[in-house]
Amino acid sequence: MATTHHSRLHYLDSARGIAAMMVLVGHYISWKFDHHMAVRYLSLLVNENDAVSFFFVLSGFVLAYPFLVLDKKMDIGKFYVNRFFRLYPGFLAAFLINYIYSIRHDLNWAEVSKVLLHSDRGFWQEFFLLRGNNQHFLPGWTLGIEMAASFLIPFLILAVRYNKKLANWLLLAIFLGNLVIGSFMIHFALGIWVAANFNLISGPEFHKSALYRYRVPLVLVAMVLFSLRKIDRLSAFGPFFKTFADYTHIDFFVYSGIASFIFLVYCIHFKGVQRILESKLLLFYGKISYGIYLVHWVLVRFIYDHWDRLNDLLGGSEQRTFILLFFALLGTSTLLALAIYHWIELPFMRLGKKIAGRMKATVEI
């Protein structure tokens, strides 16, 4: 099995697309019908809450890959510019759409002045991704974490580039820090660790590792860890688990982060998994995955805000309405995500690269 150093690992785009679809499906099925046991069991497979753990672990890997594997030069200032234009314009469009939808019944000059002058309903805090304020675009909390982590990640990458053995110590340090302050940085650090060990993971030497030797039980453990939050909702773990989480800050996101790390390692090593992920449909949804994540929330809100009217319009059978509106949600999200990809993501990414290309060097490594 030869080690490959492609400039972009497209099968990981597909993995991101699957995670984005999990968020869409999970939000749709749990919004109104979470009290149904069938929906709760389905949520074990479609875990919208912890799919974001995979986003974070994958981001750590993707951001570190060019510098730790392809050995590209990093300029920290240009890194920040490119990251900002990759994430923020799409978020801003989604936030404004959700905000307008939230105040649609009070859309007048008096309301707008309250918003602009007094940050009514937390407008400016959410606009600038401050303090986790996500009253209107709930999935925006993950973008706040991505942006904040992006300021720190270059320094982790540079430390690991200086000495790849530092990846182990940084991971330990961040995990221990998590016990005190609580942080999602452990997810990004896990991704950086994978990038630091990419040659080992993608090559034949990986067969000698414990991760390969115990690959089947580890995948089963990862599946359980990834769905632990939903298992708890089916059958509560009891006060000891909650007390342990409160004292250590080892919550469901930490467990699903470890699971995501295992999934990412196996995606990188196993060619059979990569062949599946490189199917045209999955690659397509991987390409527009950020748009799917951005647009689905307002559509889900619209469906359930008008559920009774839509149900009557479609014949009065909740089961049939549920299925028909799911396909309407999927189709509409796909079209809007495609538009966002071509009209917002690509133009602003090009703009970011153009600005970074004209910048003077800041700190080059």
Mean pLDDT score, 177-187:
81
More confident residue, 255 or 117: 255
Mean pLDDT score, 330-355:
97
Q: What pLDDT, on the 0 to 100 scale, is given for residue 4?
A: 52
Q: Half-sphere exposure of 353 toward its Cβ, with a 13 Å CA cutoff?
A: 6
pLDDT confidence band for 96 (50 / 70 / 90): very high
Residues 192 and 160: beta-carbon distance below 8 Å: yes
pTM of the model: 0.93
Q: Is the model's pLDDT at 216 over the cut of 70?
A: yes
Farthest-apart Cα atoms in the chain, separation: 67
| C-alpha to C-alpha distance for 297 and 193, rounded to whole angstroms | 32
Q: What pLDDT, on the 0 to 100 scale, is given for residue 108?
A: 75
Q: What is the pLDDT of residues 296-329, one digit of tens each?
A: 999 999 999 999 999 999 988 888 999 999 999 9
| C-alpha to C-alpha distance for 343 and 243, rounded to whole angstroms | 47
> For the chain, what percent of residues have pLDDT higher than 70?
98
Q: What pLDDT, on the 0 to 100 scale, is given for residue 264?
A: 98
Q: Half-sphere exposure of 40 toward its Cβ, with a 13 Å CA cutoff?
A: 12
- Closest by CA to 285, choosing from 6, 53, 16, 46, is 16
Q: What is the pLDDT of residues 38-93, one digit of tens each?
A: 788 888 888 998 999 999 999 999 999 999 999 999 999 999 999 999 999 999 99
| Ranges 55-69, 110-124, 227-241, 242-256: which has the least confidence | 110-124
> For the chain, what percent of residues have pLDDT higher than 90?
69
Mean pLDDT score, 106-121:
74
CA distances from 22 to 15, 17, 18, 226, 293 (A): 11, 9, 6, 12, 10
| Stretch (H or E) spanning 182 | none
Q: Is the model's pLDDT at 1 over the cut of 50?
A: no
3-state secondary structure of 75: strand
Q: What pLDDT, on the 0 to 100 scale, is given for residue 317?
A: 87
Q: Is the model's pLDDT at 3 over the cut of 70?
A: no
3-state secondary structure of 163: coil
More confident residue, 50 or 116: 50
Q: Is the model's pLDDT at 33 over the cut of 80?
A: no
Q: Is the model's pLDDT at 2 over the cut of 80?
A: no
| C-alpha to C-alpha distance for 344 and 67, rounded to whole angstroms | 27
